[in-house]
């Protein structure tokens, strides 16, 4: 058994091993997870969560690394959750601890963690919300969540971040991707990376045009800016940080930040509850109640919806 209060205290002091242990308890769905979350609850709510998403090859890891450097120059403590594809064998993250961010590995003000999606659609690990809470409680002022590049499924990042950054690059068909993938709905800031390549201006123009077509904004609503960067050289990154800070200020002014965080908490509670119910239903396989309901459906005495109502009633007592 882990001494959770001691572990949380060490994480608050910024000890990487303690933070790593807490996130491992989250990922492994430890029996002590409830105790961990209860201990962390009063310590959270201070971090600014930025999600980065985009098609594979647009430079998400390079952009994340450049943003880490910019925030560190400003004296901010930064946490990074890099959500990678799962290994089909071990279930672990294929890209490990992100070699491309190794320049920050020795910085005590930066915590980098790779997490595996474990087959979860939507580009995020199911345990990402709890991992974000661990980094928040550990004193990270900015948390960057970089999602696995899975194209149209990765819009889920919008539900986990305060601000969502969508990265595109010229010559990758991202204009078409943006039109069909729901990306226009999730972005708060758009970044055209690799802007030194041919077609960068055209990509930015096309994106601007598509954002205009999809607009149904009232006066005072946020209009996502488009920033051009060359992340590998650090060009345009300060402009991205400025856009992020501007969006945060707008959200705080209009009450959007609190609203998003409440919605995020509600989704998290719903996910935990549904997971628990699914586990209980899974335990019913071979149970007499389920077999009896199935027999009545087969005999035409009951429809599946009425049967599911009976099953839920027997599980919840309502």
State whether residue 181 is helix, strand or coil.
coil
Helix H or strand E segment including 63: helix 60-73
Instruction: Summarize pLDDT for 128-147 with one digit per residue, the tens.
Output: 888 999 999 999 999 999 88
Distance, CA of 244 to chain centre: 16
CA distance 133 to 88: 27
236 vs 177 pLDDT, higher one: 236
pLDDT, tens digit, 9 for 90 and up, residues 16-71: 999 999 999 988 888 898 999 999 999 999 999 999 988 888 888 899 999 999 99
- pLDDT, tens digit, 9 for 90 and up, residues 265-307: 898 888 888 878 777 777 666 678 888 899 999 999 999 999 9
Average pLDDT over residues 189-202: 93
CA–CA distances in Å: residue 215 to residues 183, 209, 240? 13, 10, 22
User: Is the model's pLDDT at 247 over the cut of 70?
Assistant: yes
Query: Tokens at residue 287, please?
Result: 């149970």
Nearest alpha carbon to residue 86 among 127, 55, 117: 117
Q: How far apart are CA 19 and CA 134, in angstroms?
A: 7
In this prediction, residue 177 carries a pLDDT of 54
Tell me the range of 102-106, 214-218, 236-240 where mean pLDDT is highest.
236-240
How many Cα atoms within 13 Å fall on the side-chain side of residue 296? Answer: 16
Query: Left if phi > 0, otherwise alpha if psi is -120 to 50, otherwise beta: which for 18?
Result: alpha
Tokens of 137: 């409680």
pLDDT at 125: 52
pLDDT given at position 92: 40
Query: Which pLDDT belongs to residue 19?
Result: 94
Question: Strands across the sheet with 48-54, in order?
Answer: 110-116, 78-84, 142-146, 48-54, 163-168, 189-192, 226-228
pLDDT of the residue at 157:
66
Q: Burial of 44 by CB count in 10 Å (0-12 exposed, 13-18 middle, 19+ buried)?
A: middle
Q: What is the pTM of this model?
A: 0.84
């Amino acid at each position: 058994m882990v001494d959770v209060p001691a572990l949380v205290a060490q994480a608050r002091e910024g000890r990487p091993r303690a933070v790593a242990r807490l996130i491992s308890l989250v990922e492994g769905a430890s029996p002590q997870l409830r105790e961990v979350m209860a201990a962390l609850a009063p310590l959270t709510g201070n971090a600014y969560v930025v999600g980065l998403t985009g098609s594979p090859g647009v430079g998400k890891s390079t952009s994340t690394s450049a943003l880490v450097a910019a925030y560190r120059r400003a004296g901010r403590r930064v946490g990074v959750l890099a959500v990678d594809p799962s290994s089909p064998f071990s279930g672990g993250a294929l890209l490990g601890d992100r070699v491309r961010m190794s320049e920050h590995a020795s910085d005590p003000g930066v915590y980098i963690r790779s997490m595996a999606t474990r087959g979860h659609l939507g580009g995020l690990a199911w345990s990402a919300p709890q991992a974000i809470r661990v980094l928040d409680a550990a004193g990270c002022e900015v948390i960057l969540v970089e999602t696995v590049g899975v194209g149209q499924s990765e819009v889920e990042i919008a539900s986990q971040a305060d601000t969502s950054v969508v990265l595109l690059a010229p010559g990758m068909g991202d204009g078409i991707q943006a039109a069909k993938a729901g990306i226009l709905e999730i972005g708060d800031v758009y970044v055209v990376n690799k802007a030194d390549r041919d077609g960068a201006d055209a990509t930015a123009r096309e994106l601007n045009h598509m954002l205009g077509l999809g607009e149904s904004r009232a006066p005072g609503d946020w209009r996502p800016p488009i920033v051009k960067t060359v992340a590998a050289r650090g060009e345009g990154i300060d402009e991205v940080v400025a856009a992020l800070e501007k969006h945060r200020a707008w959200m705080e002014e209009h009450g959007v930040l609190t609203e998003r965080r409440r919605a995020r908490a509600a989704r998290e509670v719903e996910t935990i509850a549904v997971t628990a119910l699914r586990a209980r239903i899974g335990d019913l396989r071979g149970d007499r109640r389920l077999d009896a309901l199935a027999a009545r459906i087969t005999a035409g005495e009951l429809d599946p919806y009425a049967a599911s109502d009976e099953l839920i009633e027997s599980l919840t007592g309502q």
